[in-house]
C-alpha cells in the first residue's frame, strides 16, 4: 500500500493565500487522477483517517481551552 503525506499538503495550506491553496488543490487532483483504482481507495481511506485525527486534535484543543475559561 502506498502512503500519502497529507500532513505536508495541510501544513502548506495553513498559511497559503487563495492562489496557493488553489495550486495545492490542483496538485492533489492531479495526484489522485494519476492513481490506480486500488491506490485511489487507499488514498481515500488514508485521507479520512488523517481528517479524523486532525478534527479530533482540534476538538481536544478547543475543549481544553473551553475548560480553562470555565476555571477562571
Residue 17's Cβ-side half-sphere holds a number of Cα atoms within 13 Å equal to 1
23 burial level (CB within 10 Å; 0-12, 13-18, 19+): middle
pTM: 0.74
CA distance 32 to 47: 11
Would you state the cell numbers that stand for residue 18, as one nine-digit string?
487563495
Choose among 31, 63, 61: nearest CA to 47: 31
pLDDT digits (tens, 9 = 90+) for 26-57: 999 999 999 999 999 999 999 999 999 988 87
Amino acid at each position: 500500500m502506498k502512503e500519502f503525506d497529507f500532513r505536508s499538503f495541510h501544513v502548506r495550506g495553513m498559511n497559503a493565500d487563495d492562489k496557493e491553496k488553489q495550486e495545492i488543490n490542483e496538485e492533489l487532483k492531479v495526484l489522485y487522477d494519476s492513481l490506480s483504482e486500488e491506490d485511489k481507495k487507499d488514498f481515500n481511506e488514508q485521507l479520512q483517517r488523517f481528517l479524523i485525527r486532525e478534527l479530533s486534535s482540534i476538538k481536544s484543543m478547543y475543549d481544553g481551552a473551553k475548560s480553562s475559561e470555565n476555571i477562571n
